[in-house]
A and B are shown apart, each in its own frame.
Chain A
Amino acid sequence: MHAVELHDITKRFGTLVANKAVHLTVTRGEVHCLLGENGAGKTTLMKILFGLYQADSGSIRVNEKPALIRRPDDAISLGIGMVHQHFMLVPRLTVTENVIAGSEVSRNGFLDMNAAVEDITKLAERYRLRVAARARVENISVGQQQRVEILKALYRKADILILDEPTAVLTPQETDDLFEIIRRLKSDGKTVIFITHKLRETMAISDRVTVLRDGAVVDTLNTAETTPAELARRMVGRDVLLRVERPPSDIGEPLLAVRDLSVASRFGTAVESISFTVRAGEILGIAGVEGNGQLELEEAIVGLRKVSSGTMTVRGKELGSGPDARRMVGMAHIPSDRLRRGVVPDFSVAWNLILGSQWRSPFSRNGAFSRKQINEHAERVVAQYGVRCGSIEAPVRSLSGGNQQKLVVARELSRKPEVVIACQPTRGVDVGAIEYIHNQLLAMRAAGKAILLISAELDEVRALSDRILVMYEGRIVAERSSDAGESELGLLMAGHQAEAG
């Protein structure tokens, strides 16, 4: 029995073909992973199934009947639910209010909130979706918010659940909880379509996996009969090293030192008296679930945010104010949010490659640009770092996420820095580019540079770092060596100091 059959689905955005004659069959009651790199067309395909986009051609069958899905309403009435990557919740409303919004229970025209709370509590218990029905969404954790989204779908009687990159925002423990929930849904006969670009999750949770590349289906496989390496090869189209080699390195003098750094935020203290030192030839990783002060720490170090107290030095010299002063002493910064901070999307590749050096020789003299120098620099860097772009005049907006990130990495590392502040350096980047960026960071390490790696990807921190600091609620709660176990770090990231200690 097939829950979903997508037949020959093609979808274009302008000249880009996001889905190319895609065939997908999802069996009822299975967990089916849609695996692919960013931009492979996974989300587009599912948005077509959910009625958010219309396919240009092709047909859809749901529960073995032809289905015409023009709007999400149509999909919902066919028993399809979708949990988006970016939650669609009203923070100020309660869990119950969020779940029932649009399908309110009423009695004599009045909202029967007690009945709704009861319904939702029952539903949540049935699938072990632990969440308080009367809690306000703004007061619950991201993991719980995700459960609210799942509840929304189940409340609308969804039999087929689409989860779009659901683990991106979760801690390892929360991910385990989610997998538990998915298994329960499956045992209850629900069908789950799980969008991801992570091989490990695919192996852990799915029954079958469909690999997408460049908008087309590469293959559909039984998970039990495949390996991560094989999946990676199909995803990228070539062999990929899943683990980077981190050879021993000569650790030298301290280059970056942070002492008792505190940063205020609107709600209180974002960073509380943090101290650490990064030495030459060392990668210091800061692990933590997003939103625990990493952004504030990052921006304070690179001079984009005011510090309440504390000192920061490079080679013993105190840093002046602003990002320019950092560049002067050889600090490079790969920002955690490339589209917000790292690039001006409307600027050309060449112009983005001089961001931060636009007033410096050889690019400008007395404020007038040398077009020749700027273009030569761009050609050189693009070639050296393998940034794929149509031309150096192309707007950065037109590059893929992976290539935008490569451009940022290339710009920052081509400054020949002494200290690199690398924040979420591989976020939203495909497997091939991840491998490349990791190797670049390791090359900097081998060249005797000091690297501070702030990342929410625990795998990344563990693979690259010589030492690991765990950040929780603005503080460093633990320091571990690079061979610390994943579950131990995961618990520390979730704030379980005692159990893990």
Chain B
Amino acid sequence: MTRKTDETTLPAGARSRPSSSSEAVRSALTELGLSAFAIVLALVISALLMVTLGYNVALAYQSMFRGAFGSLHGISQTLLRATPLLFTGFAVAIAFRAGLFNIGAEGQLYWGALACALVALTVEGLPQPIAVGLPLLAAGIAGFLWGAVPGILKAKTGAHEVITSIMLNSIAIFATTHITSRYFKAPGAVDQTERIVAAAVMPQIIPGTGLTAGILLGVAIAALVAWFFGHTALGYDFQAVGRNADAAEYGGVSSKRIQVLAMGFGGIMAGVAGGIVVLSLLNRFVANFSPGYGFTGIAVAVLGRGNPWGVVLAALLFGALDSGGMSMQLFARIPSDLTIVVQGLVIILVAAPAALRAMVRWRKPKVEPVDVA
């Protein structure tokens, strides 16, 4: 006794008005607007929370904003924190375009980081571009291989990628810890490798701030992803499988192959994220280093609505919340945990687009009648 809900029960004609590309732009803007609205709403709700708990909201947001954007140092901190999220965001968003939910970015990130560090230990004497490039390549390959596993499992056995990629996260975290402590442990209490060779450390683009070329690579990747989805046959196949797998099959696309590739490509992004953290922040592999870059990547992808530039903006926002949260704690004496609350609220609000739309519509006047004839 299923009754289809509104969109599907509209008469054919209700969906049949030819639209134009301006409509596509408008809907993209609406999407962007909804994300922005979600952010504002999250900040308002957090403000109410702060008031309830007796904090000074104005001071809190002021110091948050200053911390994130108020100085060169703040901006670099924001960008620095945004960099790994940018890549893990893509790790999720790319698979998402092919209709797959890559929850495994965290595990892919660990393998990428370990592979990167191990290669970066050996590139002594190579020119810097190669000394940086080779470890990143290793990170990408490791991420691809680990990322492809859920894709293969799905293609071969139908196992759902969400379940398998979650499980593979734990395996990756423990396996990388074990490998490090057993075979590559540097002297000391911490399970970590030796320091990578100096030539493999990513060059800083603003000296003294710790901000490295990783962010530039991220922006380049965003452009590459946008091109991939807009202008290549493989990108077409990805989206065809994501949007209508039956029609893709009709068009000669093997959806199983695409599933493996899409998860693998996502894995590359997460692997490179791990590599960049190693080459620009840690300068070695440290067991259990990630504060959840891979998981935050899911939120980044959702907030960016799978759009490459949306992912960039979302990563910047999360980076800003992170760096702003630090200074909020410092100057307004508000636990930086509150930024996690803000992030959580943004995600909930973005993940509930229907509720948001209802709120937006509720504020809008009635639609103008348009004649159809």
Contact = CB atoms under 8 A, between A and B. Distances in A.
Interface residues on B, range: 35 or more
Most buried by A among B1, B233, B243, B248: B233
B170 interface: no
A12 B19 CA distance: 17
B88 to A, nearest CB: 26
A369 interface: yes
Contact of A214 (B12, B237, B247, B373): B373
B71 interface: no
A355 B244 CA distance: 12
A343 B12 contact: no
B246 A41 contact: no
B367 A340 contact: no
Given A40-B13, A344-B240, A358-B251, 18 more contacts: A13-B14, A14-B14, A16-B17, A17-B369, A18-B14, A20-B371, A38-B12, A89-B1, A215-B372, A323-B249, A347-B239, A347-B240, A355-B240, A358-B233, A359-B233, A369-B231, A393-B20, A394-B21
9 contacts: A44-B14, A304-B249, A340-B244, A344-B240, A356-B251, A371-B231, A390-B17, A400-B13, A403-B16
A235 to B, nearest CB: 14
Given A323-B249, A400-B12, A401-B12, A367 B18 contact: no
A428 B16 CA distance: 13
A351 interface: yes
A37 B204 CA distance: 66
Given A20-B372, A39-B12, A88-B3, A323 B250 contact: yes
B365 interface: no
Contact of B16 (A101, A355, A399): A399
B10 A13 contact: yes
B18 A215 contact: no
Interface in B55-87: none
Contacts of A262: none
Interface in A393-425: 393-395, 397-401, 403
A346 B250 contact: no
A16 B20 contact: no
Contacts of B370: 12, 15-17
Most buried by A among B232, B246, B250: B250
A399 B17 CA distance: 6
A342 interface: yes
Contacts, number: 163
Interface of A: 12-18, 20, 38-44, 47, 52, 88-90, 101, 214-216, 302, 304, 322-324, 327, 333, 335, 340-347, 351, 354-356, 358-359, 363-364, 367-369, 371, 388-391, 393-395, 397-401, 403, 428
Given A369-B231, A400-B12, A333 B19 contact: no
A343 B247 contact: yes
Contacts of A43: 11
A343 B249 CA distance: 11
Interface string B359-373: 000000001011111
B26 to A, nearest CB: 12
